[in-house]
Structure formats: structure tokens, C-alpha cells
Structure 1
Amino acid sequence: MQFHLVVPGLAWPTAAFGKLPAAPPLTALPVLLGHASHAWRPAVALETWLAGEFGLNGGHTPYAHLRRLGEATNTPKDVHWLCCDPVHLHFSRDRLLLADASSLAITRAEADILMTGINETFADIGRFEAPTADRWYVALPDEPKPFFHPIADVSGRPVQLFMPEGDEVARWARLSNELEVWLYNHPVNAARQEAGQRTINGVWLWGAGPRDAPAHTPASHIQADQPFARGLARHAGIEVQAADRYREQPGTTLAIVDSLQRPALHMDSAAWLAAIEELDTNWFAPLLAALKAKQISKLRISAPGDKHFLHIEVSASGLWKFWRKPRPLDTLLASAPAPNPQNP
């Protein structure tokens, strides 16, 4: 039995943001790292990497369809989905930058008000919906033709480098501009500005692709709470379990645990330290015990991110090497190569 744990945000970017202010009192992870081999690979977004694991490597991976399939609410059939995620656009010097919804703290009430207004104003485009306050979609009768860059590639970077490409670009650029104007003038944003919050002054359209793209499952069992991962599993025809703790199961397991992702993205060291302590209790400790008991033959830990991709492997057969000392996580992270300036 092999277990593959995917933990985006595990590789706290020390080279860019400095050492963590305090070393978390972990017990299991340092032991695993002391017996592990590791490799630093080029940066890759979680969604892009996951799509590849499920056999979707084309330029038109249907991210919107798959993410919508993983939401808690029912997914209407016979429509084409496009992510229409709320963002904050702002200028830094002469560059227009995008901040995604993870920094906006949009409330459910705000999202509902905006969805009602958008559907009334843009009913000729499609049906807009927000299964969660910070993940928006539009259901369309036909698949959009342009290539849209994923929002993970654009967040924090100059927007002009990631404009849509291909056919019918002007149509979608016009819709994006009209939505920006509508949002800018909405009372919800006037209230947010009055309260000192960032406004929801734009959307990022992305994720179009053929909804019938074939996929295969990379493991016998999938544990995930992240909607894109859940949608991938459902698209591949496999039942999804919650990613709340390690579960002993026959065969192979792929578990995606994203509790470190947002704290790492926003450099929130306090939240990151609290989340990794919980990971040590619910995941690393039982995985270490399972390796020692030979219930797992190999543990792989993957940490995709926008600075590096960290890959770790631990074999049950190697745990007998008693002279191997625990390796603190911050020591491993300090070995990360400097990010490529071409891909900040």
C-alpha cells in the first residue's frame, strides 16, 4: 500500500519571506524528514499539477467544469462552465495587479446581493451563481473559445501579461469590462470602501474547456475537501472522502490537505504554525505509525507552490536506520533554491 499526501503551502517560502518566527513543536514530521529523500522541483500551481495526476495535460483543461463539479451544491448538466471569480484590481506604479478573493473576506450576504444584480443585468450572457462567497461561476449554453489563464497564475502579477488568447477574445474582454463598471458603481462596494475594505471591483474569467475530457484516477481512494480535487475525482468516477484525518485503507490513497495553502499565500505565520501542528497530529503521526507497522510501504508527500514544488519520499524499509536523526522542517526549507526571477 502506498500513500500520497499533497500539502500545498508546506514549503513556506523562506527565501522570499524569511525564516518562520518560531519553530513549531512537531513530533512526527521531523522523524519522517530524517528518514526521507527530497527534491526541489520547478513551481507549479496545485490545480495544474492535480490535473496532470488525473491525466489531463492539455491546454484546455476544463477547470471551471471540474471545480464546479466539486462544490457542495448540485451541478446542473448540459451547460458549459466558466469561472467568474471576484477580484480586487489595483495599480502599483504603472502596473495593474490582481488580488484574488482569498484576501477580500467577501460575506455570503454580499455575494448573494451581487449575484442577484449580475443576473438581472447580464441575463443575456448566462446564469451566474456563487456556491461559496468567493467562488463564482457563469453557466453558458456554448463552450467559450478563448484560452483563459488560471487565476492562480495571475494573482499578485501584472494583469496585462495574462490576457485571454484565441478566438472571440473581444467578446469576453467586453463582458469583463462591463462587469468591472457595474461592480465599481454597486452599493456593496461603496459600503466596503466606507468600512476600509478592499472593493470587489472586477472578476477573472477562466477555466473553459471541454466538459467530456477523459480522466483517470491515480489512486484507489481519494481524500479531498478542495473543490477542484473533489471535482476531478468525481469526473474520474471515484467516490471522494473527507480530508480530515489519515484513514487506513487497502490499495493506494491520494489525499489533498490544503489547510496550509492560504496562510502561506498571505504570509500568515501564526495561522500556518497552528495548521501544521494540526497536520502533525492528524496526518504525520498516524502515517509514521502506519509506516512502522508496515501498513504503508511508501509515503510520498508533495507540496506544490508558486515558488517551488517540494517532493518527499519515505519508505517503510528505511525506518530501521536508527542512526538517522529527526530533521526539523525549517532546516529542510532552508535548503530550497532561490526562486527563478523569470517566474516570481
Structure 2
Amino acid sequence: MSDTDHLLIPFAASHAPGCRQALATLALPQLSRLLALLGPGTPDPGAEDSFSPPHERALARHLGLPDGPQDCPAWAAWAVRQQPEPPEDPSGGWAWVTPCHWQVGMDQVSMDPPERLGLDEADSRALLEVLAPWFAQDGITLAYHAPDRWLARGALFDGLATASLDRVVGRDVRPWLPDKAAGRTLHRLHSEVQMLLYTHPFNEARIAQGALPVNAFWVHGAGALASPPPSRPLPQMPDALREAALREDWPAWAEAWRALDAGPVARWLARARAGTPVRLTLCGERGSWEGSNARRGIGARLRALLAGDRWPALYQQL
């Protein structure tokens, strides 16, 4: 079966009240028809407080990445090995570092979506120059990768469980920080960087321009890969549901689902009806479900069609 026939849908479900309300009037006819052609499938149960969301765990399985601490894939180490010219020795600990803005309230410290900072390459590189020496004191080397993402290398990232950005955006950051013992260095760096940036000219210039100050960072995708993972193409992984869910904009989430149902899901249905092997992975905030039409006989398909719409029951698993 070709890996390019894999449709992986993040944030296909949420148990937030607003999402449940949107689901009550959400018709997904193409998805219902596609599910009737797929096998019983394989569930991946999980918990909403897992550092790694279901769609990242599913993507890691697709790519053949080994399990990391608390099921957190070593995404930065994987990205290093995908580079056209990877380092001579890509082993050891790697991580992503994302500049961000934390809103400090009376009873929580919440993270704004990093894109609200509007960092361009010049600003990101300037900020990197400010912070790199502080990280270097703890044996961490920072390198520019994108405006909202730097590549970090250091021994402390080998075996360190770090929460995905998708778990933290819009939420209180404190439950998602690394273990205090294992992440002692990062906890101290968080405090030092907050004090450094509080009155730094970099932020004073941003505030004068009406932009949000950068007052924190988030480490994610940490870990090490002892050997290169298998070379596999990425699945089709639409992002519209994720963007709406992280904003908790459930009408937009429902509209995004309708577009997916009429677009990629309808195309996968056409392939399945033509006998082409396809895979579908639906991911929520707790778990995921993966099914395919491989080795599905006519009798099994008929029984599935007679069983009715499988989506409401699957929704409860995610």
C-alpha cells in the first residue's frame, strides 16, 4: 500500500461543549460512506493531558519514528536528518525552540498563538542573537530555522519529554512544562529570559510599533534518534480543523469539516470505491482511529453499510 494514500486528519473531534454542539447539526455524508468501506480499524486510546497529541503520535507511527519519553516523538532530531546536508554527527539531543508571548493572569499563565507575534526573519534572527548566549551557557546551541522556530542542540534534550505546541496554545502553560527535576535547566532559563526581555530594547521597539512583546519561549519536539528512520513520504494532513479548534471557533471548525468532507474525504471515497487501497486516520484530543480498505471482502462491506453511520461512535473514541 502506498503511503501517499494516507489521509490523516488532526482535531477531527473535541469534547469541548461548543464542539459537541456544532457536531449535533454537522452532516458529513462522504465520511460516513468512506467509513463504511473501511475495516474495523485500530484505535489509539490516550488522555487529554498527554504531552503528545494523537495526530503527532499517528504521524510518528506513519513515519516509523520510535517512541520517546511519554510518547513524545523526537521531531527536531527527525527534521535534522531530513535536511539535504545534515550535520556530520546528527545524533544526540535536539529540540525546537519557539519564541512566544505569555499572558500572565491572576490564576494562570496562558500562551498566545505564536503567529500573533508576527515575527519576520529579520526580527527572529535579531532575537536569536540576544538569546543564544544565554542558552550557550547551559550547553545549548541555537540555530535559525524559521521565524517562529529555532533548532536547539544540547545533551539535556536527550530523553526529555516536552509538550507539543498544540497542547499548550491558548492554555495555562504550567501543567505542560517539563518535569521539574529533568527540566531544571529549562525552568531556570524561562525565568532568566523573562527578566532579560522585560525591558530589552528589542521589546521596547516592538511595543512602540504596537506589536506584542516576546517574553517567553517554548521547547518542543525534543529527543534523540540513534539511527535514521525509514524514508517515507508524508501523508496528506489538512490543517484547517486544527486552526479552528485551537481558537475554539467551533462554527469555523464545522465549516472546515464540511470543506474536508467535500474535498479530500470525497477523493478518498472515490479511490476506495475504485478498489484503490487507502488509509484514513481520525485524530481527536485524546486518541485516534486508523482504518483501511485492505482485504475487505464484499460481505464485510455489505455488513458495514447495513450497520449505519459509524462516525458518531468513532467520535466518542477520539
> When the two structures are superposed, what TM-score results if normalisation uses the length of structure 1?
0.67
Residue 233 of structure 2 is aligned with which of 225, 233, 240? 240
Shift, 1:280, TM fit: 3.7
Residue 56 of structure 1 is aligned with which of 58, 66, 74? 66
Note the alpha carbon deviations across 1:126-155, whole angstroms, 9 max, x for none: 432332222222233x45467342234444
Partner of 2:245: 264
- Give the residue type in structure 2 aligned to 1:63: W
The within-5 A match list for 1:1-344 is 1=1, 3-13=5-15, 15-20=17-22, 28-33=30-35, 41-43=45-47, 45=53, 46-52=55-61, 54=64, 56-59=66-69, 61-69=73-81, 75-78=86-89, 80-119=93-132, 123-124=136-137, 125-140=139-154, 142-144=155-157, 147-152=160-165, 153-165=167-179, 169-194=183-208, 197-212=211-226, 214=227, 235-240=228-233, 254-269=235-250, 272=253, 275-280=256-261, 282-296=263-277, 299-306=278-285, 308-311=286-289, 313=291, 315=293, 317=298, 318-319=300-301, 332=311, 336-337=315-316
**Which structure's residues are more often strand, by fraction?**
1
- Give the residue type in structure 1 aligned to 2:281: S
Shift, 1:167, TM fit: 6.1
What SS is found at the alignment partner of 1:205? strand
Note the alpha carbon deviations across 1:65-124, whole angstroms, 9 max, x for none: 1244457x8543436422222222223332333345255443333322212333366554
Shift, 1:61, TM fit: 4.6
Question: Quick check: 1:62–1:207 contact (8 Å CA) kept in 2?
Answer: yes
Structure 1 CA distance for aligned equivalents of residues 206 and 312 of structure 2: 38
> CA distance change for structure 1 residues 4 and 101 in 2, over 3 Å: closer, same or farther?
same
Structure 1 CA distance for aligned equivalents of residues 172 and 196 of structure 2: 22
> CA distance change for structure 1 residues 185 and 52 in 2, over 3 Å: closer, same or farther?
farther
Shift, 1:33, TM fit: 4.1
Structure 1 CA distance for aligned equivalents of residues 252 and 208 of structure 2: 28
> CA distance change for structure 1 residues 85 and 293 in 2, over 3 Å: closer, same or farther?
same
> CA distance change for structure 1 residues 75 and 179 in 2, over 3 Å: closer, same or farther?
farther
Partner of 1:222: none
Structure 1 CA distance for aligned equivalents of residues 216 and 208 of structure 2: 18
Structure 2 CA distance for aligned equivalents of residues 280 and 336 of structure 1: 15
Structure 2 CA distance for aligned equivalents of residues 41 and 148 of structure 1: 19
Shift, 1:265, TM fit: 1.6
Structure 1 CA distance for aligned equivalents of residues 194 and 176 of structure 2: 17
What SS is found at the alignment partner of 1:114? helix
Question: Quick check: 1:129–1:137 contact (8 Å CA) kept in 2?
Answer: yes
Question: Quick check: 2:94–2:224 contact (8 Å CA) kept in 1?
Answer: no
Structure 2: gaps (5+ residues): none
> CA distance change for structure 1 residues 274 and 166 in 2, over 3 Å: closer, same or farther?
closer
> CA distance change for structure 1 residues 281 and 68 in 2, over 3 Å: closer, same or farther?
farther
**Which structure's residues are more often helix, by fraction?**
2
**Percent identity of paired positions between Structure 1 and Structure 2:** 23
Structure 2 CA distance for aligned equivalents of residues 158 and 322 of structure 1: 42
Shift, 1:8, TM fit: 0.3
Structure 2 CA distance for aligned equivalents of residues 192 and 18 of structure 1: 39
- Give the residue type in structure 1 aligned to 2:200: H
Structure 2 CA distance for aligned equivalents of residues 149 and 182 of structure 1: 23
Question: Quick check: 1:33–1:326 contact (8 Å CA) kept in 2?
Answer: no
**RMSD between superposed Cα atoms in Å:** 4.1
Structure 1 CA distance for aligned equivalents of residues 65 and 133 of structure 2: 39
Question: Quick check: 2:96–2:151 contact (8 Å CA) kept in 1?
Answer: yes
- Give the residue type in structure 1 aligned to 2:272: L
> CA distance change for structure 1 residues 335 and 148 in 2, over 3 Å: closer, same or farther?
closer
Question: Quick check: 2:29–2:261 contact (8 Å CA) kept in 1?
Answer: yes
Structure 2 CA distance for aligned equivalents of residues 335 and 322 of structure 1: 14
> CA distance change for structure 1 residues 157 and 265 in 2, over 3 Å: closer, same or farther?
closer
Shift, 1:202, TM fit: 0.4
Question: Quick check: 1:4–1:255 contact (8 Å CA) kept in 2?
Answer: yes
> CA distance change for structure 1 residues 97 and 128 in 2, over 3 Å: closer, same or farther?
same
